[in-house]
Amino acid sequence: MSAADSLLVSAKADVNAAVGDWLDHLGSERRLADRTLVAYERDVRQFLRFLTNHLAEPPGLDALEELRPSDFRGFLASRRQSGAESRTLARGLAGIRSFLRYLETRGEVNAAASAAIRPPRQKRSLPKPVSAGDAMTLVDADAAMDAEPWVAARNAAVLTLLYGCGLRISEALSLTGRMAPRRGTRSLRIVGKGGRERVVPVLPVVCDAVESYLALCPYVPQPDGPLFLGVRGGPLSPRIVQLAMAGLRRALGLPESATPHALRHSFATHLLAGGGDLRTIQELLGHASLSTTQIYTEVDAARLLEAYDRAHPRAHQQK
């Protein structure tokens, strides 16, 4: 029996047919990515295999109709025992709910039982900014001594945009030649996630970094073409920037968390530490919700506690 066949016997024919219809719906009408469809099908098949053992037979649509919240809790508990983390469990539950809601729209099951289950609480990891001193070193073109001068200047200009304007790497690389911040530029209009537009102020040091890159670049960026170019004159790949950052952090002895995106975290954290208003920082970052920005208050508090533990004379006193 093939692996594909072993998956299909975990459910009766009516359910297997419904899974195929659901995936077709997600792919053609909702246009989900192939890898998302693969993950969703894997999660639903895991649930169906659990039900086969749980019910002592492969489930059909009639069995799905009779499911209770306790059945979903049992599935999550079994996945937890097998080592699945909260993020994996939450994603799996989302896929199962999507499938059952699809069946509900066809009048074949009631999806209320799955909706009654609260997804596992996920531990929220704090952003890991770099220090102000390390950020300034990372955006210095002279730090990349092994790169060609124009490549070092280009990388420094990109990283300066991330730290100086709080841009995502995709936003920096989406800038066109016409949008290049030159001396005298005061602001940039950025289109971020979800098509949300925001205006970010541009510091003179950002303009200087871009001007240095343009003066050394052997290619001329076209007004409607990408501002940042690769060594062959094509659009600069985000991967190249990530590799350049990896080389810099190794040379400077920085942790693996010092990624290009960490400079955006540093932008927000350093603004907040300097007295920046949380609502303003939200607008500068392009966050849709203030709750997303509020995580930086936790970062700032954590840094204060670390400083306290290092510096306070009674921090390490035995109780």
More confident residue, 14 or 318: 14
pLDDT at 98 over 70: yes
pLDDT in tens, 126-175: 667 888 888 888 888 676 666 789 999 999 999 999 999 999 999 999 99
Residues 6+ apart with CB under 8 A from 213: 150, 153, 154, 156, 157, 228
Catalytic residue among 12, 154, 168, 198: 168
pTM above 0.75, yes or no: no
pLDDT in tens, 274-316: 888 888 888 888 888 887 787 777 665 555 445 445 554 544 5
- Amino acid sitting at position 120: P
pLDDT at 130: 83
pLDDT at 113 over 60: yes
Residues 6+ apart with CB under 8 A from 155: 141, 144, 147, 241, 244
Q: Where are the domains of the chain?
A: 3-115, 132-311
Q: CA-CA distance, 262 to 258, in Å (whole number)?
A: 6
Catalytic residue among 30, 68, 106, 193: 193
Tokens of 302: 């954590």
Q: Are 139 and 209 spatial neighbours (Cβ–Cβ below 8 Å)? A: yes
Residues 6+ apart with CB under 8 A from 307: none
pLDDT at 309: 53
pLDDT at 6: 41
More confident residue, 164 or 8: 164
pLDDT interval class at 124 (50, 70, 90): low
CATH for 3-115 is 1.10.150
| Residue-level length of the chain | 319
- Concerning whether 287 is annotated as a catalytic residue, the answer is yes
Tokens of 29: 């009408």
User: Which DSSP symbol is given to 145?
Assistant: T
Share of the chain above pLDDT 70, in %: 87
Q: CA-CA distance, 239 to 279, in Å (whole number)?
A: 32
| Three-class DSSP category at 82 | coil
pLDDT at 317 over 60: no
| Three-class DSSP category at 121 | coil
Catalytic residue among 45, 198, 264, 270: 264
pLDDT at 146: 66
Q: Using alpha carbons only, how large is the chain's radius of gyration in Å?
A: 26
CA 317, distance to chain mean position in Å, is 41
Catalytic residue among 80, 101, 261, 303: 261
Q: Are 291 and 195 spatial neighbours (Cβ–Cβ below 8 Å)? A: no
pLDDT at 217: 96
pLDDT in tens, 240-265: 999 999 999 888 888 888 899 999 89
Tokens of 295: 């995580």
- Return the bridge partners of 194, or none: none
- Concerning whether 25 is annotated as a catalytic residue, the answer is no
The owner of tokens 């004159």 is 233
- Concerning whether 296 is annotated as a catalytic residue, the answer is yes
Mean pLDDT, residues 213-225: 96
Q: Are 301 and 294 spatial neighbours (Cβ–Cβ below 8 Å)? A: no
More confident residue, 309 or 88: 88
pLDDT in tens, 27-81: 888 787 888 889 899 999 999 999 999 999 999 999 999 999 999 999 999 988 8
pLDDT at 123: 62
Q: Which CATH superfamily is domain 132-311 in?
A: Intergrase catalytic core (1.10.443.10)
